[in-house]
Amino acid sequence: MSSPQSNTPSPLIKMVIPKGRLQEKVIALLKQIGVKLTFNDRSYRPMVSDPVLTVKLLKAQNIPALISLGRHDCGFTGHDWVLESKEDQPEPLESLLDLGFNKVRIVAAVPEDILENGQLPDRKMVVATEYPNLAKSYLEKKGVQSVIIKTYGATEALPPEDADMIVDNTSTGNTLRMNRLAIIDTLLNSTTHFICSKQALSNPAKKEKLTQMTMLMQSTLNAQEKVLLEMNVPSDRIDALVTGLPAMKSPTIAQLHGGDGFAVKTAVAAKDVPNLIPQLLEIGARDILEYRLEKLVP
């Protein structure tokens, strides 16, 4: 007698998310699009509420090459790691969405007293970095003779005794200044991207799922920057209000019961609200309500 077949679909998409400081932001974003992860202690493979997904935690540095190799379909990592691992990628990766998380600069920095009239000394430099490929390309373009030492964190601690220069990521530059390091160049700016392999996009079912997820994440990110304002406006003030009201296209306007004015709804930038509400009151708006948005699909 054959065993009954399970109605649970086999996982379709193999996804990786980064361990560390990016992890919580990515998990929160996935939850907002309906993908809830449940972790056991020390588990690298959380349970996933969406049956067509499997998820594994990896270091952000390893994610691009492993997706390019086809070991996983998609994942989240910094654009800096995508570029750094380019030589280890059998084929280029596709960036589906720039999430804007963890904005950093990849910079070259040196001890303040190493510069001679603002210039690097004319000698071979010992360069410490977690980005040997990016550093090598940069140093060759600059014509700087160098020996590159790959580091594994705390790169800023090496100068001046153990390195003449570092190539490292920074968000504010404060750590570099605290270690008396001067930024001499910015190699690139980086944020977190949702990436996938070309193999995944060549599969129609995977492409459809990835497209849906990307749309939902983008709409969630859009909503974080906007709020919905709702207000009542007297009939004789509606034209003045609409003229000065920011909106994606045009506000939604409906006549109030009894014809005594209008109800107006519009999505506006959250940062504009503190200045906008007093202006609306001055024009004649009343009963103003402000709502948080969960998703905003243009």
CATH number at residue 256: 3.30.70.120
Q: How many domains does the chain have?
A: 3
User: What's the Cα-to-Cα distance from 67 to each of 74, 86, 210, rounded to whole Å?
Assistant: 6, 12, 14
- The pLDDT score that the predictor gives to residue 290 is 94
Same domain, 69 and 197: yes
Same domain, 56 and 110: no
Question: Each residue of 49-67: pLDDT tens digit?
Answer: 999 999 999 999 999 999 9
Identify the weakest region by mean pLDDT among 90-94, 233-237, 256-260: 256-260
Same domain, 113 and 51: no
Residue 1 located in a structural domain: no
- The pLDDT score that the predictor gives to residue 297 is 83
Place of tokens 């935690």: 57
- The pLDDT score that the predictor gives to residue 2 is 43
Same domain, 112 and 241: no
Residue 246 located in a structural domain: yes
* pLDDT of 221 over the 90 cut: yes
Same domain, 88 and 202: yes
> Is the separation of the CB atoms in 233 and 285 below 8 Å?
yes
Identify the weakest region by mean pLDDT among 136-145, 180-189, 228-237, 257-266: 257-266
Q: 168 lies in which domain range?
A: 104-190
Mean pLDDT of all residues in 147-176: 93
Same domain, 286 and 141: no
Residue 7 located in a structural domain: no
Mean pLDDT of all residues in 249-265: 85
Q: Between 139 and 295, whose confidence is greater?
A: 139
Q: Which of 27, 9, 73, 60 is nearest to 217 (CA)?
A: 27
Residue 47 located in a structural domain: yes
* pLDDT of 244 over the 80 cut: no
Same domain, 18 and 51: yes
Same domain, 134 and 260: no
Place of tokens 């909503």: 223
Sheet holding 74-78, edge to edge: 53-58, 13-18, 74-78, 192-196, 94-98
- The pLDDT score that the predictor gives to residue 42 is 75
Tell me, what CATH number does 54's domain have?
A: 3.40.190.10
Q: Where are the beta strands (DSSP E) in 4-72?
A: 13-18, 37-38, 47-48, 53-58
Global confidence as pTM: 0.85
Amino acid letter, 233:
V
